[in-house]
Amino acid sequence: MKISILEEYIKFRKYTIIKDSNKDSNFISDVTDLVKSLNTIHINSIEVLESIVQKVADCTDKIWFKHSKLVLPDIQNCGRTITAKDTWIFTEISNS
């Protein structure tokens, strides 16, 4: 049996928010406001629920990128990103 392994470049970026920082507080506040603003009265089907959940996910992503910062790789450590253990990390991966 042969298993083909294709060589592919995958670009990734890491974003972080320092815990207990102003950015962290603002992120939590914005997500809380988003959840409070949800109108759940008209959820009468799984399709409507899925649509609302997708919108919440999309908005949460936008809020994350609004408050987070890009973490650059540490060149001296072979491209591995070194971050403090007291940070939130979100990794964005794309094939472009």
DSSP classification of residue 46:
H
Phi, psi for residue 12 in degrees, rounded to 5: -135, 150
Could you tell me the residue range of the domain that residue 74 belongs to? 11-94
Any domain includes 79: yes
Higher pLDDT pick, 91 / 45: 45
Q: How many domains does the chain have?
A: 1
Any domain includes 71: yes
pLDDT at 90: 55
Integer Rg of the chain from CA: 18
pLDDT grade for 4, boundaries at 50, 70 and 90 = confident
Helical packing angle, 22-36 and 46-67, nearest 10°: 160
Q: Residue 16 in contact with residue 71, Cβ under 8 Å? A: yes
**Model's pTM, two decimal places?**
0.63
pLDDT at 2: 76
Higher pLDDT pick, 55 / 11: 55
Any domain includes 1: no
Using one digit for the tens of pLDDT, what is the confidence trace for 24-48?
A: 999 999 999 999 999 889 899 999 9
